Amino acid sequence: MFKPIGVRVGQRADGLLEIVSGLKVSDVIAANAQFLVDSESFIRIADTNR
């Protein structure tokens, strides 16, 4: 299951964005932002069941 995570960004160049904090090397990310938008309601439901 994916969930939104806040990150701090650094430099931007050539369509790339540096993530300076908020992620760990072991984190799995959704490479397509559309996935997160499509599954947003699923994420909200999953978070309320904790």
CB 6, CB 22: distance < 8 Å: yes
Residue range 16-28, pLDDT digits in tens: 999 999 999 999 8
Residue range 27-42, pLDDT digits in tens: 988 776 665 555 555 5
pLDDT of residue 41: 57
CB 3, CB 47: distance < 8 Å: yes
pLDDT of residue 13: 95
pLDDT-derived band of residue 10, with 50, 70 and 90 as boundaries? very high
Name the DSSP class of 31.
Answer: S
CB atoms closer than 10 angstroms to residue 15: 5
pLDDT-derived band of residue 44, with 50, 70 and 90 as boundaries? low
